[in-house]
Amino acid sequence: GAVVSQHPSWVICKSGTSVKIECRSLDFQATTMFWYRQFPKQSLMLMATSNEGSKATYEQGVEKDKFLINHASLTLSTLTVTSAHPEDSSFYICSAKGLAGGHNEQFFGPGTRLTVL
Amino acid sequence: KQEVTQIPAALSVPEGENLVLNCSFTDSAIYNLQWFRQDPGKGLTSLLLIQSSQREQTSGRLNASLDKSSGRSTLYIAASQPGDSATYLCAVDNDYKLSFGAGTTVTVRA
């Protein structure tokens, strides 16, 4: 149980285009989902927290107009990187907490590798 | 702001040796601490989660201890195998968010 999927697993796009990444909780309902990015040989940095049906909360330094997050249902959150540039190339990982929320365990997706040319 | 440090950054051991990975954190007001494994280019696999009220957790060859007052956790992997080669991350939960360390990259030589 507690499986989180991401799609696509990797994507290559041209500079200036937008890319959408999906995060799904497959066997549980997630009131809260998190989006992280990871640069090579570095740790995960939290970008934003999204709660179903409400606006995402972004961490300091993360541009909310560039990284659009939508959490429209209890099983799906999307991250759209708008007008992508090479510096946005990174590994993006989502995680989800179950309905109990709180300090319960987060379950992580397999990640999406974004390369912007 | 919570700062999580993992030492060493990299570790290479011969097969069969026990592994000791360290994690320290600056704010002891945590709710839980989690250890993850990450293979190159992959997502995270949860290994152990220790609640703040617990001192340790065990799963198979893995044992993790937590000393909240001193801001430290240690992950022990007994009788290491080449398949244990990966990056190990620790993360602490406070304020409903996880703060991650930079990880320890482990290589187990056959």
pLDDT in tens, B51-99: 999 999 999 999 999 999 999 999 999 999 999 999 999 999 987 789 9
Q: What is the pLDDT of residue A86?
A: 96
Q: What is the Cβ-side half-sphere exposure of residue B1, based on CA atoms within 13 angstroms?
A: 4
| pLDDT of A101 above 60 | no
A98 at interface of B, judged by CB pairs closer than 8 A: no
Q: What is the pLDDT of residue B48?
A: 94
pLDDT in tens, B36-55: 999 998 999 999 999 999 99
Residue B59 burial (C-beta neighbours within 10 Å; 0-12, 13-18, 19+): exposed
Residues paired with B74 in a beta bridge: B22, B65
Q: What is the pLDDT of residue A41?
A: 80
CA distance B74 to chain A (A): 18
Q: What is the pLDDT of residue A56?
A: 92
Cβ <8 Å between A43 and B32: no
B101 at interface of A, judged by CB pairs closer than 8 A: yes
Q: Pick the closest to residue A90 from A39, A47, A44 (CA basis).
A: A39
